[in-house]
DNA sequence: GATGAATGAGGGTTCATTCAT
DNA sequence: AATGAATGAACCCTCATTCAT
């Protein structure tokens, strides 16, 4: 989504622009983030930023996409468990997600911005589709779980998917950050969070989930 | 938080002010909501609003508190089940909460605004304390559940509380609204949501929770 | 179209605002006119002008309407000839119009701005309707002339109306200003134009028209 | 007015530049037209355009001149009537002009841009001289008509020329476009206008004129 | 000959708050 | 108690032109 101009920039300058913009959009929801602040922190002319990006929307959506790519990359770094059931798969996946937060809190924050509401209608559309994609993914997983027999077949996915979504998105995140006594992924104290924290939190969430969802005795 | 002048106002005028302000702050996050729009919709002088409230912050926080009171009032209207265990208590409580959303979507929305982030530091503090209160309440309930024996004693509440919070806040809300094919409590279609929807959703959430948390076989 | 604020202003301040805005919009077509320049010439804050008018469009359209009112007022000052035929009526009317240009060149200029094209779609609509009204008026006059017998009945008004419109709008104006050796009504030299100039020009135009349109020998 | 570099360009590239610039300046008045948009549509570097033309002004004036040349060329394609009087000559000439509008609406539009006012003083001068040239031409024709005896000798050309100019410029154009139910030569519906329309409109205008101007009974 | 990044002033508009009346 | 005019910085975005490469 950036213009060619942006990629022709010297790597270090491009990097600085990304960093400053990332900081701005990580710290503030889309509507509050300010292009003026970005350029003033960068010490470049306002028009220059408009050479690189068509506007605020494009800059934001590109950052969000970039965040998605970085997250995917980070998640893919560790190979997924093979021959595992639903709970093992989710355990692995969400642990990776938490580790991404600890490793790249600002990118993670920007990724989360994509599910925040906005007054800008186009950004709202982005939000809606992000949310829908997340739920669709969960639904697919749980449906597969039902086929595998690891999720009770009598559960209505219509009801369960959003509930699980709440548990594994906001719930998991809150539990993870709480281990550092923190509420916000950008809080410096969140940097102390590591692999063990992620695993502990995900374990708690998934054993709760497994007991709750699996057929028969837990 | 309003000044004395506000309460000296004729009741109907006071009421209109509340309604218009409510509408504004229900529709937009704190930072986007506009005092200018409120007074212009009211057709009163800007200065007048500043006679009633010290400023935007005070108006907002008062609305949020008022929303809390209205919710409490609504929840208290039905007597809680007596002699019930944790799950029955929560079932009752959260069902009331969902019904409040359906009955007073704008007040419910304003109540939710209190957990949204803001650029205003004082509003952020409000947010933090709201979140903390919600978690404290849950922790107390779950701790009592452990004493009662309805929650496994080996669970770390540090981990479980935020998870359950995610399930019962965002998860429950999403599941409820999804029954009307909706994402936003202010969406007119959300008005079709009724008692059965609330009960169905809360049942699903709490049976998931009970299986997940209760000691022994589910 | 101004807000109440504007009319509550001290008369002299209101007058200054009108004068400066009038000057700006007389000198430049809508798209080139600048609110920034207006407030800077006025020495008031930008926000203040937005207290008086909803925006550039409203300021412009109000000025145009005001110009129309002033012109109507000026035209109505002299009573129209009674018992006159088409040509006498038009002679009187257009002479009044020219005198208005000489008397209030800036208001006249703003009135003409309403038939200039603009990139703003709402302003374009204003333009279209102004043009249509002007032609509708002429068509009605000429149709009446045909009924009276002062215009040849075999003429197609579809063809004749726009032609006459060109003659009596741009043509008449150019001829009038040319008498002061000028092209622009705002040129100071245009102030020397008076009643005799208007009558001479209108006479020339209408005798040309009468010969051209009247049935039988001129 | 273009630099040598422009003419050294491969013909097809030069052609594309002309087309895109033509489109821009046909669609918007000089002050609104944008060099940025032109180069962006062309997909060439901004600096390149500045190699071909000294700037916006030069590009525009060259296009206007080019439009004049194209019009002259088109008009000259059909030989003028020989041995004809003033009215026949003008009939032929203006019919050619209207046909040029139908055949090359964008070039025609750019030609008309030259008589629009602008904030740029140099462009204003261009406008003034275009207008003056048009009137001078008409004056010469009408003067010849007086010598020929086809225009009444008692008419003051000072008065009549601008009037006839209004009739044959704006009036004729309006009448022509009105036959397609259109106001703007670039409106696609204007493409339906053909030879018969042009002749009908010019006939109406010139018979009006002839009756109005010729000595003796019409 | 071609490039295209950089500029920086300018555009219209919105806002919460103050304070003299 | 009520008013509402005034502020002025902030918002996003566009532009013609330059000049080092």
Contact C178 D172 (CB under 8 A): no
Which residues, 6+ apart, have CB-to-CB distance to A19 below 8 Å?
A: none
Contacts of D217 in chain C (CB under 8 A): 217-218
- pLDDT exceeds 80 at position B1: no
Label residue C218 by pLDDT band (50, 70, 90): very low
Task: Report yes or no on chains C and D touching (3+ CB pairs under 8 A).
Answer: yes
Model pLDDT, residue C67: 96
Which residues, 6+ apart, have CB-to-CB distance to D146 below 8 Å?
A: D152, D153, D155, D157
- pLDDT exceeds 90 at position D126: no
Q: Say if D136 is an interface residue toward chain C (CB within 8 Å).
A: no
**Poorest-confidence range of A89-103, B67-81, B196-210?**
B67-81
Containing structural domain, residue D193: 4-213
**Assigned domain for A38 exists:** no
Contact, C46 vs C67, CB < 8 A?
Answer: no
Task: Report yes or no on chains B and C touching (3+ CB pairs under 8 A).
Answer: no
**Assigned domain for B13 exists:** no
**Poorest-confidence range of A204-208, B118-122, B133-137, D72-76?**
B118-122
Please give the nucleotide, over all strands, whose C1' is closest to the CA of residue B53: E17
Is any atom of strand F within 7 angstroms of residue D41's beta carbon?
A: no
**Assigned domain for D92 exists:** yes
What is the distance of C-alpha B56 from the center of its chain?
A: 20
- pLDDT exceeds 50 at position A218: no
**Assigned domain for D218 exists:** no
Which residues, 6+ apart, have CB-to-CB distance to A28 below 8 Å?
A: A34, B119
- Distance CA(D152)–CA(D160), nearest Å, equals 11
Q: Mean pLDDT over all residues of chain C?
A: 92
* Among B178, B200, B211, beta carbon nearest to A212: B211
- pLDDT exceeds 80 at position D71: yes
Is any atom of strand F within 7 angstroms of residue C34's beta carbon?
A: no
**Assigned domain for A45 exists:** no
Contact, D30 vs D114, CB < 8 A?
Answer: no
Distance B16 CA to F6 C1' (A): 28
Q: Say if B150 is an interface residue toward chain A (CB within 8 Å).
A: no
Is any atom of strand F within 7 angstroms of residue C42's beta carbon?
A: no
Q: Mean pLDDT over all residues of chain A?
A: 92
Residue A47 sits at the vertex; the CA angle it makes with A45 and A48, to the nearest 5 degrees, is 70
- Nearest-Cα distance to chain A for B172, in Å, is 6
Could you tell me the CA-to-CA distances from B211 to A87, A162, B176, B217 in Å, in that order? Answer: 16, 18, 21, 8
Distance A56 CA to F14 C1' (A): 14
Number of domains in chain C: 1
Contact, A115 vs A127, CB < 8 A?
Answer: yes
Share of chain C above pLDDT 70, in %: 99
Give C 198-217 residues with CB within 8 A of chain D.
200-201, 204-205, 207-209, 211-213, 217
In window 151-210 of D, residues with CB < 7 A from nucleic chain F are none
Q: Which CATH number fits the domain that encloses residue C117? A: 1.10.357.10
Cβ atoms within 10 Å of D30's Cβ, excluding its own: 23
**Assigned domain for A15 exists:** no
- Distance CA(C67)–CA(C109), nearest Å, equals 9
With CA atoms as reference, the chain D residue closest to C169 would be D166
Could you tell me the CA-to-CA distances from B109 to A118, B26, B193, C43 in Å, in that order? Answer: 15, 5, 15, 44
With CA atoms as reference, the chain C residue closest to D205 would be C163
Please give the nucleotide, over all strands, whose C1' is closest to the CA of residue D46: E4
What is the distance of C-alpha C61 from the center of its chain?
A: 14
Is any atom of strand E within 7 angstroms of residue B57's beta carbon?
A: yes
**Interface chains of chain A (3 or more CB pairs under 8 Å):** B
Output phi, psi for A78, to 5 deg: -95, 135
Long-range contacts of A89-93 (CB under 8 A, 24+ apart): A89/A141, A90/A141, A90/A168, A90/A206, A90/A209, A91/A202, A91/A203, A91/A206
Give D 153-182 residues with CB within 8 A of chain C.
155-156, 158-175, 178-179
Q: Say if D82 is an interface residue toward chain C (CB within 8 Å).
A: no
**Assigned domain for B20 exists:** no
Model pLDDT, residue D216: 66
- Nearest-Cα distance to chain C for D95, in Å, is 14
Label residue B130 by pLDDT band (50, 70, 90): confident
Model pLDDT, residue A216: 65
Contacts of C161 in chain D (CB under 8 A): 175
Distance B75 CA to F17 C1' (A): 67
Q: What is the pLDDT of residues D143-179, one digit of tens each?
A: 999 998 999 999 999 999 999 999 999 999 999 999 9
């Amino acid at each position: 989504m950036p213009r060619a101009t942006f990629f022709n920039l010297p790597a270090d300058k491009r990097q600085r622009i990304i960093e400053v913009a990332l900081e701005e959009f990580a710290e503030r929801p889309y509507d509050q983030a300010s292009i003026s602040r970005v350029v003033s922190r960068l010490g470049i002319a306002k028009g220059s930023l408009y050479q690189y990006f068509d506007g605020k929307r494009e800059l934001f959506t590109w950052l969000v996409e970039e965040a998605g790519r970085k997250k995917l990359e980070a998640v893919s770094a560790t190979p997924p468990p093979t021959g595992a059931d639903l709970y093992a798969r989710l355990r692995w996946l969400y642990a990776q997600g938490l580790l991404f937060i600890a490793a790249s809190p600002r990118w993670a924050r920007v990724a989360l911005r994509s599910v925040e509401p906005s007054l800008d209608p186009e950004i709202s559309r982005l939000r809606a589709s992000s949310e829908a994609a997340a739920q669709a993914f969960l639904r697919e997983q749980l449906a597969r779980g039902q086929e595998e027999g690891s999720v009770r077949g009598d559960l209505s996915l219509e009801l369960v998917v959003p509930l699980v979504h709440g548990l594994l998105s906001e719930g998991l995140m809150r539990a993870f950050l709480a281990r550092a006594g923190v509420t916000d992924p950008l809080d410096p104290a969140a940097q102390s969070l590591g692999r063990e924290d992620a695993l502990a939190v995900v374990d708690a969430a998934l054993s709760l989930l497994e007991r709750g969802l699996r057929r028969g005795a837990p």
